[in-house]
């Protein structure tokens, strides 16, 4: 079963779960015709863990390494604009 999320008004198609951990579930998806991984927290009590992870990823992105993928961040699941 295919599910959808929205980021800045753009639809993200979630194809399948590709990993489950203590704090979140990771999905394979499509966003703006690009393959993406989407991490969804299981509970808001894990938000601080996620913020730390995002901080580390942003610092790694500053290195401009070709092996790192783009990180898209949203704090909310935007409502379907339709």
Residue 67 lies in a domain: no
Task: Output 72 or 76, whichever has higher pLDDT.
Answer: 72
Instruction: List, in sequence order, every residue forming a beta bridge with 39; answer none if it has no partner.
Output: 26
CA nearest to 21, candidates 2, 51, 49 = 49
CA nearest to 29, candidates 17, 16, 14 = 14
Q: How many domains does the chain have?
A: 1
Q: What is the C-alpha separation between 4 and 79, in angstroms, rounded?
A: 11
Residue 36 lies in a domain: yes
Give the pLDDT of residue 74: 58
> 24 lies in which domain range?
3-61
Residue 69 lies in a domain: no
Task: Give this prediction's pTM.
Answer: 0.74
Q: In this structure, what CATH number is given to the domain that contains residue 48?
A: 3.30.200.20
Give the pLDDT of residue 1: 65
pLDDT band at 66 (very low <50, low <70, confident <90, very high): confident
Q: What percent of the chain has pLDDT over 90?
A: 28
CA nearest to 72, candidates 16, 8, 15 = 8
Identify the sign of the CA torsion 12, 13, 19, 21.
positive
Residue 47 has pLDDT above 70, yes or no: yes
């Amino acid at each position: 079963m295919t599910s959808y999320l929205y980021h800045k008004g753009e639809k993200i198609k979630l194809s399948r779960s590709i990993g489950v951990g203590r704090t979140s579930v990771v999905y394979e998806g499509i966003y703006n015709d690009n393959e993406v991984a989407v991490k969804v927290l299981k509970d808001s009590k894990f938000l601080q863990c996620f913020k730390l992870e995002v901080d580390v990823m942003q610092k790694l992105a500053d290195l401009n390494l070709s092996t790192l993928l783009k990180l898209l961040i949203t704090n909310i699941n935007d409502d379907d604009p339709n």
